[in-house]
Structure 1
Amino acid sequence: MTQTVAIDPAAPIWHDIADAMPILTCIIDDDGQLLWTNRCWQSEIGIETDGNLWTFFSGTTGDDARAAWKADVATGRPFALTLSLPAGPVDFAVRPAGAGRWIAIASREETQRQTETARAATRAELDVLTNAMPQMVWATRPDGHHDFYNAQWYRFTGVPEGSTDGEGWNGMFHPDDQDRAWSRWRHSLASGEDYEIEYRLRHHSGQYRWVLGRALPVTDGDGTIVRWIGTCTDIDSAKRAAEQNDILSRELSHRIKNIFAIISGLVRMSARQMPAVRGFADDLARRIAALGAAHDLARPHSDVSRPLIGEATLHHVLRELLSPYAVEQWVIEGDDVPIDDRGATPVALIFHELATNAAKYGALSIPEGRLSIRTARHDGVLGIDWHEVGGPPIDGAPQATGFGTRLAALSIEQQLAGHIARDWRREGLAVHIDVACEALVRDQAA
């Protein structure tokens, strides 16, 4: 006796269950009219419930198709049905659902075939996409096992297909880069962090070329990593160009420093022949030396040429200029900002001048004197306060404007479009300077 499956096509619970099934499912009446289709059917076939099965019958058309359906339905028992759907022939198991209705569900074998077909289509699309890219593309399992490389990888490396699966990829790196690359990759696998590193990869020519390796994790709905997708970008030309530029920059800087040294030597040599200008010549030579030190600190640097103190900033330049004086006598505090060769020259001139005067007449001229420099950034403007205390008392502003005052105005007001104000307090000189942060560097917003 055949058991009838009691199904109400309008029941919400039935809709929820069938819609969740990744299998083609529909409900049909005795005349072959589609009463209801699940989401999988609608997604893959796109047929609404006002259609019928006749156009999908395999091997029969018209009256023959209708007669075959009627004959199977008349038995009242389950039967098999093959429909010619857009994706190809699909086998269905059809069972009575009561009240002149039948439920048709695609067979497990057919569902598996469709899944494999969809997976193969997705893989084919991925292959076409990755092989069309100019970059090397690779993928791994969650544990880091490499199981996919695109055609660009094999063109670049020249290795046989599949030879770098698993851990074989590490042998493609320059021996000096293998441990570093492997360590960084293990860190990403353990932490889930993005993978990014530069290393030298063996080219099919036998030479090693610099590449940028990157990889991102692919996660499921729970955040679990299910794949890693990575790329390798050939940056060898850019890397070597950067190295050549660095060599040229260092050579140019060396020549500029030599020019500073030659000028200082010429000044001192001339002073020996003209004793009357010895003091002026010594001051000028010290200013030139300060410019040379500031230039070397603030010029563009690479990782090789960068000074040990780190990136060039205003505080670093100021510390360099004050380094000849007792460290317990001065302090630099506040907001620090980047500086390069554009801002370093005028900054070096003004603060070398202030420090020289402080050493001659002000707070740095006696052990008890103290100097503080405080910087504060606000709305793209950097305020710098120079404050001397504990030095010889000041009776008032000097009667005449000296060369240093004119030099400061030239440096700050004209070269950096800033402002400088002096306050000749009895306890020590106070100077306030305002300058736009963007004036201290090239092509950088404040």
Structure 2
Amino acid sequence: MQLLPLMAVLLPLCMLGGGGWVMWRLTWAEAGEELLRSAEATAEYGARALTGYAVGAGRINERLRGLTDEQVLNAGPGLQGELGRIIRELPHAAFGHVVSREGRALLITGLPMPEAPVSMADRDYFEALRAEDAPQVFVSQQFSGRVQGSLLFTVARRREDTGNDLPSGETFDGLIGVSVDPNTLAEGMRRLQAPTDSLALVRDDGYVLSRSVGQTEPLPQVSRESPFHEIAAGRRHSHVYMSTRTQDGLPALFAAYPIEGFDAHAVALRPRQEIVARWQRAMLGYFVFGLPASAALLWLSLRVRADQLRLRAANAALGRDLERDADRLNRAARLGLVGTFEVDLATGVSLRSPEYMSLQGLAARAAVEGHADWVRRLHPDDRDRAESTLLEAVSETSGITDYAQSYRIVTPAGEVRWIAARGEIQRDADGHPRVLRGAHVDVTPLRETQMALAESDARLRLAQEAVGIGTWEWFPASRTLNWSPKMIELWGFDPAEGQPDLQEAMRRLHPADRMRVRREMAMANRAGWLRSEFRINRPTAEGGVETIWVIVRARLVPPEGGPGARLIGVAYDVTERKEAEAHSEMLAHEVEHRAKNALAVVTGLLRVTTADTHEEYVEVLEARIRALAGTMALLGRHRWKGASVGELLRHELEPFGMGEEDAPVTLDGPEVLVGPHLAQPLSMALHELATNAAKYGALSTADGRLEVRWSLRGQEVVLHWRESGGPPLDGPPERVSFGSQIITHSFEGSLGGTIERQWRPEGLACDIRFSTDREAPVAGLRG
């Protein structure tokens, strides 16, 4: 009883001391967890950025495929602008450059090439990529740029499939680099850090790529005494350690997390004094409650028994809840195809759950397997990587306790599945691995969706580039436009000058469409969509103005925490389609007109054609209609623009073996094009001349010859028709046939020309003249 006052004082003090110790440990543990999360987020950010720069370098390599160094060095602004657009699409990238295998800079995007050659041969990325065991992608140290003098680091890869002739045995043919401003890259990291922390991207050799606090010159290598080098050499998944800050030597807590795909880590740090201050603020509450604790001690002792009874009941209820949770967890594993495993690392024996075996494409029952069984099911392309990742994680020296990776397996049925493996490695007090416990999850649908989305995105970008689609945003509240570079080019502005002025853009609308477009834009704010076609008067490179047709499609997007809705749309040039529609309409009118004209001619032929017998009538009429149809076919092949004199002659005289040896017909003259309204009567007249020659003239005998020569004098065609070797003629025929009437009517009436015929003893001679610019249409034949 006498010790009771002393105990009432000592017990709270002991509790306060113990609570302070526990809070001290919890504060440091919480700080480590927070730093690890920041380092992991920074590693993901760094991986996306560095991967993007590597992909950008690959896109430049694809664009330069097949080009020699000389072609790249002498490339015009077009190629430099195209590569510049690739660099501008990469966040935080300063510029890209192409380097020859001698180290000479061939091309630098976004910067004028210096007059004197610039050598990159002393850069660490040049030395690394020139080596025989060069990595696929290399991230350089920081350096001061030789062209613009700013602080940079470079993500580089070898240049491949060039047009250069490499020496025998040589594989290095230059490189492509994407240079990055570390201070610009640090802007993204600053959004990930806590106010008291600092973040950095550090190569595994200790050289800093970028840090959130910014810098003006390259930083020295991380001290060799720092635990960072042991972590980087062991490639642990993540690690928290104490060290000193480079800039001031003060102690701080660090967390390192590897950047996937690169020999670098993301590092987060928090000063020791900040952690101590946080512990002191937490302990303030203990002091506030410590003194009342003595007074409440007696009252608490009376409540202990009651609390014990309630705790016993609560524990019983918790046990029942745990049983229900375990049952639900087992069902979730079965339905979600989550398979568990436990590997005894001393013996190599692995216990597999039924869900694990089912996921591997085997019978769904628990099994005992060895390491080789798992390796045998790995996809050949992933086998070496997956096995080495596992063996490294469970090695004696790695110190890793968290194991995670993704890979493909091939089931006994030949099905390829993607597996996400996660596990915990239990180690003894000396750090030796003892047991690996974890789970496998089938993530094949997720991977397939990711690949489908990537393919869809690539097709969309390709389609937009192929058809020249421009994208735009209209903010009605502020009456501002935001255009993509393609949209700016479509309107005739220079993308390098930034966003065009709204009023200047509206002035380039065709005056006849301007008011209608304004009304449609206003209606789109209410309807929620816009579909319009209009014309743009844009300047040309020669200083003139051209009119193009543009289609616009857009949809109103509701605000997401912003000031108001916006109209997002696309626009593309449809001038060729509009011209094709106009031309098709013109052709339709022309076909309709020619069809009516042909029907009029056929009607006239039916009315005036005569013959002694029905068979002769049919033969003569069919020949004339075939001649007319042949002319229509010629005009159709030329899209109703006309036909040449030579084509019409060859069509009518083709049955007489033109082009063969000893052919009875000789044609000589230029390809003179006559309009469709002249081609029809000309073909009818030539048909009748050829028919008369075949029946009564030179082409009616085996020894007969026909020579047709024509020339163009200004707008006048002069055609000479000479027959020889046929039946002797003693003058003009006694009766003028209908075919002769067609010849005279065609040349002197429809063609507006002249025809002079001489019936010489050796054969018919015709001199024909007509003008190619006569516009009178053919009206048909009258009897």
Shorter-chain TM-score bucket reads 0.3 to 0.5
Larger radius of gyration: 2
TM-score normalized by structure 1?
Answer: 0.44
Bigger relative CO (Cα 8 Å, ≥ 6 apart)? 1
